Structure 1
Amino acid sequence: MKILLGKNDDKAVFVKTLLKKHTKTKPNTEANHVFLTELLYAVEEIKLIKTGQLKGRPAEELLKELP
């Protein structure tokens, strides 16, 4: 989860401090970034298919492409 704080006032500093004390963090690697970007793209594509703005493919077609 990403959290973006637009201000750097006392409230934002408090929230950052609170999060650091009660959450575990690790640096985002390039592989994680690529995976998350592709996952977000896939979710958006699914939304477009559900609304009819994009045509989907049957799962059988996808399975036939696998080795």
Structure 2
Amino acid sequence: MSDKEHKASKGMVKYVLTIFVIAIILAVAYLTFFTLGEVEPVIANVKLITAIIVSAELHHSGLPGG
């Protein structure tokens, strides 16, 4: 890889990471300041979805508790 290609590659990676960081900052600002009501933690949704999947698997497997 030539020096020009190496510099271009570094520049592209820096550009993509900058865009990604800006997107994360905007997302956090939006969730913090512009959402109405109470923001639910993501972990609560994950636990609910996991419980639904486990319940469905138990129901289809015929095991007790389903």
TM-score if structure 1 supplies the norm length? Answer: 0.38
TM-score if structure 2 supplies the norm length? Answer: 0.38
| Larger RCO: 1 or 2 (CA < 8 Å, sep 6+) | 2
